[in-house]
Amino acid sequence: MKCTASAAFGLEGVLKKELEWLGLHPEKAMDGRVYFDATAEAIMRANLYLRTAEHIYILLEETPLTTFDDLFDTVKALPFAEWIDPSGVFIINAKAKKSTLMSERSIQSLTKKALIESLKASTKRYDFPENGPTYTFRASVSDDVFRLELDTSGEALHRRGYRLDAGAAPLKETLAAGLCLLARYTGKRPLIDPFCGSGTIAIEAAMIARNIPPGLARTFAFEDLIPFSNDAFKAVKKAAYQAINLDKDVAITALDYDPKVLIKAKANAERAGVDEDIDFIEARFEMHKFTNQPSALITNPPYDERLMNAREIDALYKAIGRTFKRLDQVDRYLISSVSGTEQKLGLTPTKTRVLFNGPIKARFYQFFKD
């Protein structure tokens, strides 16, 4: 089956690598989408294991078109009854960009009508009560290319299930995992996040270290798709449980000065099954005695005036810069959307990369050890 995986802009390269690690063969990556071919079993594994993907879709159609008649006929010709239960609830999310067909409402309603027509033709039934499982489709027209994708994930994959409570301005779990993967964190070196908030970076790092698939505690939309058998999914999950690495020594420290947010972080870590791998410390960054040893520091300091005023941000980033200068044996990584971060830190990064935390454009600054 032709598939696509979606990710935040900036993370497509990491997602491509992850697909390769799963033994899949990603093709092109563009605009937050990576293409690959997969069997039903591989789609289950992709949903379960990918740490940076938001959704995995089956690409039902991808074709150039510029009229609504063509759109309707194209969708009507697709064999929906092979995929979905006709009594399902059908949700069509439409998007249009730089195309002749720009009415998202019409794309949505015509796609749905054509889907029902296809089901009528193949099932010979005429009532569609929409009281069964929910199926979500993404119907998009971009640069006059129409794509229809069937969502196999359901709720976005950053919703792992462990983060029930977060502090202010939490990172998406998929982005936190992406930062750890960009830092090539595998669990061999000690890791510290000195502004841990609800613990997302530390928890995602611990799951990487222990080889815990991020989707183990949740359900997926593919469980209601016809070609996906329950037994096959049970086998995929069983293999995943057996591959969890319980023997390794994992050393992760998560620091925050806010005792209330640390309670949330600990509860999140417990739900993720990694609380024993993380040493949570209530401390102010400026007072903590960091060790200058080969290790990694990955962090997301406050960057937003909801959390601090501009003068406080300046003072804090200056303090971070001073500490970073001293920690020359540590690979230091910092994500922030504060403008002029480099000047505020007083340090030039080895590398910088633009990433998106939801709608917020941020930069990932990387300072490699000497």
Ligand X SMILES: C[S@@+](CC[C@H](N)C(=O)[O-])C[C@H]1O[C@@H](n2cnc3c(N)ncnc32)[C@H](O)[C@@H]1O
Residues in touch with ligand X (CB under 6 A): 166-167, 169-171, 195, 197-198, 200-201, 255-258, 261, 284-286, 300-302, 316
Is the Cβ–Cβ distance between 201 and 180 less than 8 Å?
A: yes
Nearer to ligand X, 85 or 258 (CB): 258
Nearer to ligand X, 141 or 269 (CB): 269
How far is residue 168's CA from residue 147's CA, in Å, rounded to a whole number?
Answer: 36
Nearer to ligand X, 83 or 285 (CB): 285
Nearer to ligand X, 43 or 296 (CB): 296
Sequence-separated contacts (24+) of 84-87 with Cβ below 8 Å: 84/133, 84/135, 84/150, 84/224, 84/225, 84/226, 85/132, 85/133, 85/224, 85/226, 86/119, 86/123, 86/125, 86/128, 86/132, 87/128, 87/129, 87/130, 87/131, 87/132
Residue 223 CB, shortest distance to ligand X, in Å, is 29
Nearer to ligand X, 86 or 301 (CB): 301
User: Dmax over Cα atoms in the chain, in whole Å?
Assistant: 73
* Residue 330 bridge partners (DSSP): 295
Nearer to ligand X, 173 or 224 (CB): 173
Is the Cβ–Cβ distance between 202 and 265 less than 8 Å?
A: yes
* Residue 279 bridge partners (DSSP): 253
Residue 140 CB, shortest distance to ligand X, in Å, is 30
Residue 195 CB, shortest distance to ligand X, in Å, is 3
Residue 256 CB, shortest distance to ligand X, in Å, is 5
Residue 255 CB, shortest distance to ligand X, in Å, is 6
Nearer to ligand X, 91 or 307 (CB): 307
Name the residue whose CB lies closest to ligand X.
197
Query: Cβ contacts of residue 57 below 8 Å, gap of 6+?
Result: 3, 4, 5, 6, 138, 149, 150, 151, 152
Residue 265 CB, shortest distance to ligand X, in Å, is 7
How far is residue 87's CA from residue 238's CA, in Å, rounded to a whole number?
Answer: 31
CA proximity to 79, closest of 121, 41, 109, 42: 121
Per-residue tokens: 118: 């296809």
Nearer to ligand X, 256 or 277 (CB): 256
- Give the number of residues written for the chain: 370
Residue 347 CB, shortest distance to ligand X, in Å, is 18
Per-residue tokens: 261: 């947010």
Residue 141 CB, shortest distance to ligand X, in Å, is 35
